[in-house]
Amino acid sequence: RDCAASLAALRAVVDAANAPIVAVDRRGLVVEWNRKAAEVFRCEGKAALRRQLAEWLHKADRPGFQELEAAVLSGSSASSSCEGGGLQRGVRVRCRSEDEPWHELLLCASPRRSVSASALDG
């Protein structure tokens, strides 16, 4: 019961964040998407689920995103472009929704970890 309450509180904080927060699984499919991500990408959460995050990125930026994704999933500790520490990494990408102009984001990524520090899959 305490775990469920903590999870609900965490989801409320993530949804209230003033930054797009997206969780993808090892295949790059969206498994979580907060309110700000829905606003930035003009796609409501449920419609984004099980779609490739790369769909919203400029084709020229997709290789950089895929490199970031592979590095994070492999546990690479290469230097980060994002603020913070640990295994967080980042890459600048251009993204847009269907009828919007391109805008640039600093896409940061880090693996979700269990209490035993092993990476979780989506």
The pLDDT score that the predictor gives to residue 50 is 92
Helix, strand, or coil (residue 122): coil
pLDDT confidence of residue 69: 80
Under 8 Å CB-to-CB from 108, ≥6 apart: which residues? 80, 81, 82, 84, 88, 89, 90
Alpha-carbon distances of 5 from 9, 11, 12, 32, 84, rounded to whole Å: 6, 10, 11, 18, 27
Global confidence as pTM: 0.69
Report the sign of the C-alpha dihedral through residues 37, 43, 49, 52, in that order. negative
Buried b (16+ CB within 10 A) or exposed e, 54-89: bebbeeebeeebeebbebbbeeeeeebeeeeeebeb
DSSP helix/strand/coil, 104:
strand
Per-residue pLDDT of the chain (122 residues; tens, 9 = 90+): 678 888 888 889 988 999 888 888 878 888 888 998 888 888 887 888 999 888 888 888 888 888 888 877 776 644 444 555 444 567 777 776 666 777 787 777 777 665 555 555 54
Q: What is the pLDDT of residue 87?
A: 43
Q: Could you give phi then psi for residue 111, rounded to 5 degrees?
A: -70, 145
